[in-house]
């Protein structure tokens, strides 16, 4: 099957990130992380909603209600689409100008996991932040304190393996995962230095294969559960950022891109757009939702 990639609409994000499929609304949601824009697009009708969040925004994930859970700079919140209101749920115990939340995803038990990025970190400086888990009762626990630039958290189909990238290390780690306990058995899953790029946003398809965006290489990479590279897909943008599966049968992938972040600036007119990818070798899986109701 031929892979087909096309731009959807005319949105242009500085730092498009965190796409997630809203199955109830049959809509794709994503953010412009630097501006604080939350988008929700219904592809079948072309209806586009624009919502405002406090910038910078790290990531979003669908809730079981008509809302998304949000990782802000150093707090978790819930944004209600109907009322357009934002409710802060919890804060982490670190407030530093060089630290903010980055990528996040929900686990099968309805918790939200989000990792931080420690910018301007000096050689030998202790890592601030790490990976945090927000529970539906609003309690927060720190799961890891050794990830400097967290990206692409996602789960194996059985929920027993967590994948988490440290983009600065150009490494995707795998952990044994228990929704009610600590992370165990940290190990290297994939190293992406050979592609001259760190791994960025990621997801797992219905066959258990791991997909990650290679931002500086402008490619998608698909890895088997044993970490072997299965394929690379060239992308028609300068700097892709993240992807998710969606659509009624989860056989479409949605890709966010960068036009101008704090470190990267695109060279192409379509940079910053949202893209639809069809013809991939496997469908995705329904997203896990934050159990807010």
Length of the chain: 293
pLDDT of residue 95: 87
pLDDT of residue 254: 98
Structure pTM?
0.97
Question: What residue segments make up the domains of the chain, in order of their start?
Answer: 4-278
> Is the confidence at residue 222, as pLDDT, over 90?
yes
The tokens of 173 are what?
Answer: 């780690």
pLDDT band at residue 224 under the 50/70/90 scheme:
very high
> Is the confidence at residue 66, as pLDDT, over 90?
yes
Give residues with Cβ within 8 angstroms of 89, minimum separation 6. Answer: 69, 75, 76, 77, 78, 134, 138
pLDDT of residue 32: 98
pLDDT of residue 122: 77
- Per-residue model confidence as pLDDT tens digits over 99-120: 999 999 999 999 999 999 998 7
Do the beta carbons of residue 253 and residue 276 sit within 8 Å?
Answer: yes
> Is the confidence at residue 180, as pLDDT, over 80?
yes
Average pLDDT over all residues of the chain:
96
pLDDT of residue 123: 76
Region of 196 (left: φ > 0; alpha: ψ -120 to 50; beta: rest) is: left
The tokens of 234 are what?
Answer: 């060239």
pLDDT of residue 119: 84
| C-alpha to C-alpha distances, 265 to 79, 85, 259, 261, nearest whole angstrom | 29, 32, 6, 6
The 184-191 sheet, strands edge to edge = 150-155, 161-166, 171-176, 184-191
> What architecture (CATH level 2) is domain 4-278?
6 Propeller (2.120)
Do the beta carbons of residue 177 and residue 107 sit within 8 Å?
Answer: yes
Give residues with Cβ within 8 angstroms of 23, minimum separation 6. Answer: 62, 286, 287
> Is the confidence at residue 201, as pLDDT, over 90?
yes
- Per-residue model confidence as pLDDT tens digits over 258-291: 999 988 999 999 999 999 999 999 999 999 999 9
pLDDT of residue 5: 98
Do the beta carbons of residue 208 and residue 198 sit within 8 Å?
Answer: no
Question: d(Cα 232, Cα 197) in Å, to the nearest integer?
Answer: 13
> Active-site residue numbers?
200
């Amino acid at each position: 099957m031929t892979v087909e990639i096309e731009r959807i609409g005319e949105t242009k994000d500085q730092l498009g990130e965190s796409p997630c499929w809203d199955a109830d609304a049959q809509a794709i949601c994503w953010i412009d992380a630097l501006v604080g824009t939350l988008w929700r697009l219904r592809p079948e009708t072309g209806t586009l909603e624009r919502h405002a969040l406090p910038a910078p925004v790290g990531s979003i994930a669908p809730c079981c209600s008509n809302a998304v859970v949000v990782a802000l700079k150093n707090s978790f919140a819930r944004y209600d689409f109907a009322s357009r209101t934002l409710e802060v749920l919890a804060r982490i115990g670190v407030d530093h100008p060089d630290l903010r939340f980055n990528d996040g995803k929900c686990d099968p038990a309805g918790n939200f996991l989000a990792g931080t990025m420690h910018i301007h970190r000096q050689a030998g400086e202790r890592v601030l932040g790490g990976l945090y888990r927000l529970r539906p009762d609003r309690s927060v626990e720190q799961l890891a304190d050794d990830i400097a630039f967290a990206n692409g958290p996602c789960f194996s189909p059985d929920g027993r393996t967590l994948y988490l990238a440290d983009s600065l290390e150009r490494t995707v780690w795998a952990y044994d995962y228990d929704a009610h306990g600590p992370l165990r058995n940290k190990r290297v899953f994939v190293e992406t230095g050979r592609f001259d790029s760190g791994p960025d946003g990621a997801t797992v398809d219905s066959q258990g294969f791991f997909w990650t965006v290679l931002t500086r290489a402008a490619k998608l990479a698909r890895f088997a559960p044993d970490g072997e590279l299965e394929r690379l897909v060239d992308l028609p943008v300068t700097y892709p950022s993240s992807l998710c599966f969606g659509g009624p049968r989860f056989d479409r992938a949605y890709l966010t891109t960068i036009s101008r972040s704090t470190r990267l600036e695109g060279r192409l007119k379509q940079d910053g757009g949202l893209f639809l990818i069809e013809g991939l070798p496997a469908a995705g899986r329904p997203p896990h939702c934050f159990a807010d109701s």
